[in-house]
């Protein structure tokens, strides 16, 4: 929370730690549109310059475009300032390595060690870094995107697309994206104001603006984005607001039909992902929650595609980013290649019923409650326990996952089953037991 746990002093120290790790190299810096992001950017730049780094200022820039730019600019890394899917008042730094991926856990620990030790490189007065603004930051990115997807087929289809970038970093980039792919773009909530139009987590409850409009403009598909363009949920042509859990399986099913490769996802993503991997005869690797873990698994397994049930997907042949623009392109490519509407594509996926709840709690209370849940066997009778991340229990007809959030003071509960009633019953029982302990 900006002004409480996230302060300019803290940001400067983290920037100094990252700058020290980058060893005077070139660092790209971008931000979203939140009111606090410009302040935090000034603190980040000051910290980097004090360690002697060369800073390229990308200004307002979606995180995936910033990540894609790191190798092209031969940078030592990048810092993206964005709260992503979190609500107003929150913000964050995303630290990006020289390969354009989120820093892997080992490198992240190295930066944390520098931060905690305050062992910062301090440049002399005549060795301070420099900062340079960068214009046309997206040109090279959209060249690569246009080459990666079947742009001619998408252009020929002449799709009408409704996109809600929630007044975030994607606003100014939607028009060139649409022009490259020949789309009739209907953009809503595309003002670069300091205020997000609604909760920026791409979920059905936040897709009502798109759903209410898509029929009136005869839209072929609607997209709801996070403020950093790293997550995406879908709205069908008939106004159905699809769960964000469908984004990864739908894209994976399309990508794997063209090329086989290892799939990576976390331990609380829908079983649809497992079913899609099985359908195409490829292995699926499960990781702890956190996109850095998925990227690390893809790197170690030479994987093809990764994603989470929050509406994020990465395709390693394109970049090491979870990329909303790429996701939109691949969904539309799937539609035109198969000659199907998005509602028809979704119906071809196996269906489960998923319930997502949470319990508000301080961090210390979260872990105390999880310890109690781990020791209590009554609520998970007949299930198989998995401790990869938090607590996961699998039954033949579904699963439940309970873990402490890494971004907010709460415990997340996700329950999925072949039965709506069973999914809800398990989720509510877990919530009840947790609330007794927080």
| pLDDT tens profile 68-117 | 999 999 999 999 999 999 999 999 999 999 999 999 888 999 999 999 99
Whether residue 235 sits in one domain with residue 256: no
Q: How confident is the model at residue 214 (pLDDT cuts 50, 70, 90)?
A: very high
The domain boundary, picked from 179, 210, 242, lies at 242
Q: Is residue 234 part of a domain?
A: yes
18 and 114 inside one domain: yes
Q: Which of 133, 153, 187 is the last residue of a domain?
A: 133
Using 50, 70 and 90 to split pLDDT, how confident is the model at 363?
confident
In total, the chain counts a number of residues equal to 438
Q: Is position 327 within any domain?
A: yes
For the record, the structure tokens of 362 come out as 């301080």
- Within-domain flag for 256: yes
Domain boundary among 133, 149, 181: 133
Instruction: Outline where 341-414 has alpha helix (H).
Output: 342-347, 363-375
Number of domains into which the chain is organized = 4
For residue 104, what is the domain's CATH number? 3.40.120.10
From CA 69, how far away is CA 65, in angstroms rounded?
Answer: 6
Instruction: Count the alpha carbons within 13 Å of 182 in the hemisphere toward its beta carbon.
Output: 13
| Pair (207, 100) in one structural domain | no
Share of the chain residues as helix, strand and coil, in percent rounded to the nearest 5: 40, 20, 40
Same domain? For 116 and 30 the reply is yes
Strand, coil or helix: 201: coil
Q: Residues 303, 407: one domain? A: no
Do 39 and 53 fall within a single domain? Answer: yes
Q: Is the pTM of this model over 0.75?
A: yes
pLDDT at residue 362, rounded to an integer: 84
pLDDT at residue number 135:
87
In this prediction, residue 126 carries a pLDDT of 95
Residues 222 and 123 occupy one common structural domain: no
Does residue 327 sit in the same domain as residue 227? no
Residue 167 domain-assigned (yes or no): yes
Residue 14: inside a domain, yes or no? yes
**CB–CB of 229/323 below 8 Å?**
yes
Distance of CA 99 to the CA centre of its chain: 17
pLDDT score at 375: 87
**Are 43 and 125 found together in one domain?**
yes
Q: Could you tell me the residue range of the domain that residue 53 belongs to?
A: 8-133
Whether residue 3 is contained in a domain is answered as no
According to DSSP H, which parts of 139-284 are helical?
139-148, 151-157, 174-181, 208-214, 247-258, 271-279
Confidence of residue 169 (pLDDT cuts 50, 70, 90): very high
> Looking at the structure, do residues 207 and 256 belong to the same domain, yes or no?
no
The answer to whether residues 143 and 192 belong to one domain is: yes
Query: Residues 88, 146: one domain?
Result: no
- Give per-residue pLDDT as tens, 379-418: 888 999 999 999 999 999 999 999 998 878 899 999 999 9
């Amino acid at each position: 929370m900006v002004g409480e746990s996230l302060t300019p002093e803290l940001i400067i120290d983290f920037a100094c730690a990252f700058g020290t790790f980058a060893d005077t190299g070139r660092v790209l810096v971008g931000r979203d549109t939140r009111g606090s992001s410009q302040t935090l950017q000034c603190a980040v730049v000051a910290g980097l310059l004090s360690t002697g780094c060369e800073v390229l200022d990308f200004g307002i820039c979606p995180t995936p475009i910033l990540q894609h730019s790191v190798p092209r600019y031969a940078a030592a890394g990048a810092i993206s300032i964005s709260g992503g899917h979190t609500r107003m008042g929150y913000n964050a730094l995303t630290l990006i390595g020289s390969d354009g991926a989120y820093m892997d856990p080992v490198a992240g620990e190295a930066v944390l060690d520098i931060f905690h030790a305050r062992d910062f490189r301090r440049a002399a007065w005549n060795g301070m870094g420099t900062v340079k603004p960068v214009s046309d930051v997206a040109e090279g990115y959209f060249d690569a995107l246009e080459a990666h997807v079947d742009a001619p087929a998408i252009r020929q289809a002449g799709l009408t697309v409704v996109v809600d970038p929630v007044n975030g970093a994607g606003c100014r980039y939607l028009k060139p994206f649409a022009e490259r792919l020949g789309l009739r773009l209907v953009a809503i909530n595309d003002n670069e104001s300091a205020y997000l139009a609604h909760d920026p987590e791409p979920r059905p409850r936040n897709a009502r603006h798109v759903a209410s409009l898509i029929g009136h403009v005869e839209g072929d598909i609607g997209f709801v984005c996070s403020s950093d363009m790293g997550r995406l949920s879908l709205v069908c042509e008939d106004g159905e607001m699809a769960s964000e859990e469908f984004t990864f399986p739908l894209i994976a099913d399309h990508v794997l039909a063209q090329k086989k490769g290892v799939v990576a996802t976390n331990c609380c993503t829908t079983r649809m992902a497992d079913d899609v991997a099985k359908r195409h005869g490829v292995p699926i690797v499960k990781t702890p929650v956190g996109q850095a873990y998925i990227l690390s698994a893809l790197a170690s397994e030479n994987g093809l595609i990764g994603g989470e049930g929050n509406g994020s997907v990465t395709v390693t042949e394109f970049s090491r980013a979870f990329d909303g623009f790429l996701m939109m392109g691949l969904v539309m490519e799937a539609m035109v290649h198969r000659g199907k509407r998005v509602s028809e594509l979704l119906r071809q996926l196996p269906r489960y019923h998923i319930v997502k709840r949470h319990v508000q709690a301080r961090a210390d209370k979260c872990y105390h409650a999880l310890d109690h849940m781990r020791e209590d066997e009554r609520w998970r009778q007949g299930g198989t326990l998995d401790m990869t991340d938090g607590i996961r229990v699998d039954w033949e007809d579904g699963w439940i996952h309970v873990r402490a959030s890494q971004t907010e003071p709460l415990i997340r509960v996700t329950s999925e089953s072949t039965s709506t009633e069973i999914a809800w019953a398990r989720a509510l029982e877990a919530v009840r037991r947790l609330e007794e302990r927080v």
